[in-house]
Chains A and B, each alone.
Chain A
Amino acid sequence: MATVKTPITELDFDGIKSQLKTYLQTQTQFKDYNFEGSNLSALLDVLAFNTFNNNFYTNMAINEMFLDTAMLKNSIVSHAKELNYLPRSRKSARAQVIITISNEAETAQTITIPQYSNISATYLGDTFNFVTDQAFIAKRIAVGVYQTDTITIYEGQMLESFQREGFIVDSEGVLRVALSNDNVDTDSLVVFVDAEATDNQNVFTLARDIYGVEPTDKVFFIEPYFDDRFSVYFGNNNFGQQPEEFEDVRVRYRITSGAEGNGITNFTASFVEGASITVETVVASLGGAEREGIESIRFNAPRALQIQERAITTKDYEILLKQKFPEITSASVYGGDELDPPQYGKVAISVYLSDDTTIISQTLANSYIEYLNDRSPLSIEPVFVQTEYVYADTTIDISYTSKLASRTASELESLVRAAVQTYSDDTLEDFDKTLRISKLSTALDAIDTSIQSTSIDVKPIIEYAPALNIKANPRFQFGQKLIQPYAFNIGSDSFTGYKPAIKSSPFDLNNVCVFIQDDGVGNIQIVSEDTLNQQVIKPIAGTVDYETGEVKLVDFVVQKFSGSGIKITANTVDQDVKSPKGRVFIIRDTDVVVNMNLIESKSATINTSKNYT
């Protein structure tokens, strides 16, 4: 009996009880272990339950001990704290506005808009409050009319804590202030020590690290507390001044609705009595974000430790930007030597927010650069490069059968277009992405059983919006090998059937509608759009490199173009289209052509036989 090994591999109740029964099979004294009514079975239940409980608690405790396996947010936050990582709190959406105050009775040269002035907004049926984070001056621009520059306002409401309930003094005498609200935007924290309730003196400011902090500096630090709350603590007279035990510590902060405050454009305000206030939106609110989630903390905390708030490699820049600015979906960072013309000693930064915000405002770009300036090496200067895009000229042929069609052709086409947009949203819309034809084709095949086959042809489009009537030498990099056509020979039927590697949409030049195309030997020519008398207007307007996909135009002048820009399309060797460096790949619905081909009933029979050869 003693030699029999009792298996100890099971962790759940039934498994453990079964193992105990297996053990009892080796003895003859008590045989009723298999009958639920027996006293022995009742004892086995208790033993198995106790073992199961121990297993559960041990498993939970060990899981929670490691960042990789912890399930509870409080545990993950605690591990992140060890890595000196501060999980992101809720973030206020911020909007850029110009405030105009009209008050005929006012004669002063300026009007001061106080700090924390409230501005209201209604969006999708909800009411939001925005506040100014500092005082602004509105200058007189006409009699009784005062206007600010473009200012930033933040979604949320200012709260002030006068309570001492949240104060904790631990055994080492370290004073902490636990913030009672879990909707705090930690960027808005201001701490006052031993100041009157109405007094803004003795202000302590947030320190993100201890470098350069003197024992007498008035700084505070933040750390995650628990249940999504944060606490404020001080430097214990080593890394910052420590308030005395009974000094009154007040904390002022903004509570926010997070991501719900994004996209707001209509604001109203009435903070100056007797005046009419107009709020003009320059940039709609963005940047509002929820608290950092469990998986995000698990991913970012070790990486934040690696980069140590310093931007050295390109990945460092990307991680820092995405950490600080939650509105950034992706970032592309590369050396200034790759810019055209090269800018040595600089690092180029482009960011992608969303397909609703394709142009990044100068103010926003400045905020990104300002943040990175303090974190990049002394000799490296970050420069913002406006985000560029590559689109896809997509032609989709769908063959479908009427036998299995539960939907009409137009319904199917709508579904195909929706599937293409979903593919673009989920798979593309980022830097360095590749449109895989087979993946898109699989997604389209799965839309409806009536779809028998799909054929997809994709050509990359780069859009160029030149300043009108000004000579320029633009360069476009498709970054892929192009299909070099046969050499173009001017003749009567030379345009018929010619398939250029590069072709543009029409634009006006000297009152003639023209487009550009390559000539098969590496030159870009300008050709008239007139179908009856088509001719080459300028045989050499630039060059194209068929190996690298680089197009250079020389002394290029445009008189007029339609739409958002001239579309330059490339015919690439690879069917899968890759986004060139520093460009975000997007499929626009306007660039998609869907041809629905109905297969006749005879050929629509589905062959269900299988060959096993």
Chain B
Amino acid sequence: MPTAVELFTPVTKKVNLYSDFRKDLLQSPLSADIVILKDEDAVKDSIKNLILTDPGERPMQPFLGGGIREMLFENITPATLKLIKDKIKTTIELYEPRAELIDISVKSNIDDNVVSVIIQFYIINRQQPITLDVILERIR
């Protein structure tokens, strides 16, 4: 049985501030509708999109994007990693106003030929820090 307090306290429906669709337009097996990314997932996907976009890739927006793909063909040195970190930081600060950066960690994994990026950030007006892992690797 619900208590009296529970009976008279209005139930608040969670309102999603941010919503987006997946870029592969994945269909929900239950509703047959496309899957919606909400709040934290939407922002994470947005940041991932931004840093993996090269400037000039998006039509009529020549400066949008992190442009780190070109860095993957450089020699992996501390300077290169620092450059990648700076580019990611600048991109997020410029194009993702919902994220407040805490830290960016860029590490190289020479054996696997990948660069691992860990981005920690807050979503504005949310208290939980969020961590986003992105693996950068050459596709050829």
Contacts and interface: CB of A to CB of B under 8 A. Distances in A.
Looking at chain A, what size class is its interface with the partner chain? 10 to 19
Contacts of A48: 59-60
Name the residue among B37, B46, B47, B64 with the largest chain A CB count within 10 angstroms. Answer: B46
A199 to B, nearest CB: 61
B98 interface: yes
B127 interface: no
A42 interface: yes
B17 A31 contact: yes
A277 B53 CA distance: 76
Contacts of A37: 45-50, 53, 95-96
Contacts of B64: 36
A45 B58 contact: yes
A32 B60 contact: no
A42 B23 CA distance: 9
Given A35-B97, A36-B61, A30 B50 contact: no
Contacts of B96: 35-37
B58 A39 contact: no
B19 interface: yes
B99 to A, nearest CB: 9
B20 A52 contact: no
A40 B98 CA distance: 16
Nearest to A14: B60
Name the residue among A13, A14, A39 with the largest chain B CB count within 10 angstroms. Answer: A39
B43 to A, nearest CB: 8
B60 A45 contact: yes
Contact of A31 (B19, B47, B50): B19
Contact of B21 (A14, A30, A52): A30
Main secondary structure of the interface of A (DSSP, over half): helix
A368 B127 CA distance: 91
B61 A45 contact: yes
B20 A40 contact: yes
A137 interface: no
A348 to B, nearest CB: 62
B59 A46 contact: yes
Contacts of B60: 13-14, 45, 48-49, 52
A35 B53 CA distance: 14
A42 B53 CA distance: 11
B16 A31 contact: yes
Contacts of B23: 39, 42
A14 to B, nearest CB: 8
B19 A29 contact: yes
Contacts of A42: 23, 49, 58
Nearest to B91: A37
A575 interface: no
Given A35-B97, A38-B49, A30 B58 contact: no
Interface string A569-612: 00000000000000000000000000000000000000000000
A154 to B, nearest CB: 53
A32 B22 CA distance: 12
A43 to B, nearest CB: 8
B58 A38 contact: no
Given A13-B60, A45-B60, A39 B17 contact: no
Contacts, number: 67
A45 B62 CA distance: 12
Given A40-B20, A42-B23, A32 B59 contact: no
Nearest to B52: A37
A37 B23 CA distance: 11
Nearest to B58: A45
B31 to A, nearest CB: 12
B36 interface: yes
Interface string A1-35: 00000000000011000000000000001111001
Contact of A45 (B42, B47, B59, B97): B59
A32 B46 contact: yes
Interface in A46-97: 46, 48-49, 52
A31 B21 CA distance: 10
A46 B60 CA distance: 9
B1 to A, nearest CB: 35
A234 B45 CA distance: 68
Interface string B26-50: 0000000000110000100111111
Contact of B20 (A39, A45, A46, A49): A39
Given A37-B46, A39-B45, A46-B59, A30 B95 contact: no
A31 B45 contact: no
A14 B60 CA distance: 9
B49 A39 contact: yes
A48 B58 CA distance: 11
A30 B61 contact: no
A49 B60 CA distance: 7
B18 A32 contact: yes
Contacts of A30: 19-21, 36
B123 to A, nearest CB: 12
Contacts of B18: 31-32, 35
A49 B42 CA distance: 24
A49 B46 contact: no
B98 A35 contact: yes
Interface in B74-100: 95-98
B20 A36 contact: no
B36 A29 contact: yes
Interface in A510-529: none
B59 A39 contact: no
A42 B50 CA distance: 10
Contacts of B47: 37
Interface string B9-20: 000000011111
Contacts of B17: 31
Given A35-B46, A49-B60, 4 more contacts: A30-B19, A32-B19, A37-B46, A37-B47
> Which 9 pairs, one residue from A and one from B, show the smallest C-beta to C-beta distance?
A37-B46, A49-B59, A37-B50, A32-B20, A13-B60, A39-B23, A37-B49, A36-B95, A38-B20
Interface of A: 13-14, 29-32, 35-40, 42, 45-46, 48-49, 52
Interface of B: 16-23, 36-37, 42, 45-50, 53, 58-61, 64, 95-98
5 contacts: A32-B18, A32-B46, A37-B45, A37-B47, A52-B60
